[in-house]
Amino acid sequence: MTWQPAPGEVLQIRWPIEFATGVSRLVEGRRSFRDTDRRDIEAELQADEAWPARPEFAVLDASEQREQRAVNGMLRWVPAVVGAIVNLGGPSGVGGGREPHGPRESQDPENEVEDFPVMWAERGALARNVPWELDPDRVPRRAGVALLATDLAVTDRSVYVVGYGPKSPDEAEVLWSTPRSTITHAEVMPCSGAHPDLRLTFTDGSWIRLNAKATSQAKLLVNAVNGASRVISEADLTDGQRAQVTETAKRFKVDAGLPRVFTRLPSGLVQAELRRSSHRTGQSVSLCMTNDGSPAAPHPDDM
């Protein structure tokens, strides 16, 4: 049976997420779980919350961090030197000496460069209640394929983590939920990999860090949690917007019987998602419109 929120709740967005992963040199490929004294709380999670074990990630001590920084400092010169050699032949040289794109400069180096917590919580804090299934290192695998996937679902009242087999997203079950009132703030964390992470901070100061593997969806999730965007009904559309939706649906042969989702973005633009398949992850046509129905590009803070 397709998962739906409780009666009376309006689903704002649902999208695959998992705990984020470090990308800076000292924490690349790692994630940690800390209390506010930066102690590792793996053992407590396993004892208190029955989390499965996984390899422990210890913070490098001061001398190890100094040594690693020295090595990294030397390595940073390598692409520039190679680029200079390549460019000796002039501006037409192949490669141009460009360094590969990396994460943006960290505004929180303690938690992104020197360590990489995806949970920051004292014993009993709200963040400790999130499910272990968010951690890809703990999810069982068969032939290298994860046997469980997780989505973050945001309604006008609550935030859910739902889990499902990777081939059956419609047969999801709730692994965790919390009222939106328990989350004080959601934010995009740009010091990430190819796509920005998002951090959810709870009323007691604890927080978790997640990745949605899509830049636009990370912003949409953050906007939904913060209440900056909201799903509206088709009756809330202007005449011009309804006409644009009808014309777009006809052009792309969208089944009129499938659900359509309309979201008012922070800028005031309306995004329409017209599904072309009954499957949740099936193809869809997305359209962003002004009040008169004219197509428009989303603003930077929208998605």
- Position 81 in a domain: no
Number of domains in the chain: 2
The confidence score (pLDDT) of residue 84 equals 35
| Calpha distance 73→81 (Å, rounded) | 13
What is the pLDDT confidence band of residue 85, given thresholds at 50, 70 and 90?
A: very low
pLDDT tens sequence across 163-199? 999 788 888 999 999 999 999 999 999 999 888 999 9
For the cut 60, the answer to whether the pLDDT of residue 162 exceeds it is yes
Q: Which residues contact 144 (CB under 8 A, 6 or more apart)?
A: none
Within this chain, do residues 111 and 245 fall inside the same structural domain, yes or no? no
For the cut 80, the answer to whether the pLDDT of residue 282 exceeds it is no
Q: Which of 228, 245, 279 is a domain's end point? A: 228
| Domain residue limits at 265 | 231-289
What φ, ψ does residue 141 adopt, rounded to 5°? Answer: -130, 155
The confidence score (pLDDT) of residue 98 equals 30
Contact 169, 278 (CB under 8 A): no
pLDDT tens sequence across 227-269? 999 999 999 999 999 999 999 999 998 988 888 999 999 999 9
Query: Which residues in 111-149 are b (16+ Cβ under 10 Å) and which e?
Result: bbbbbbbbbbbbeebbbbbbbbbbbbeebeeeeeeeeeb
Counting Cα atoms < 13 Å in the Cβ hemisphere of 40 gives 13
For the cut 80, the answer to whether the pLDDT of residue 19 exceeds it is yes
DSSP string, 111-178: HHTS--EEEE--TT-GGGGS-GGG-TTTS-EETTEES-EEEEEEESSEEEEEEE-TT-TTS-EEEEEE
Q: Which of 228, 253, 275 is a domain's end point? A: 228
- Position 302 in a domain: no
Kindly report the CATH number assigned to the domain that includes residue 208. 2.30.29.30
What φ, ψ does residue 103 adopt, rounded to 5°? Answer: -70, 155
Q: Which of 228, 260, 277 is a domain's end point? A: 228
Predicted model pTM: 0.80
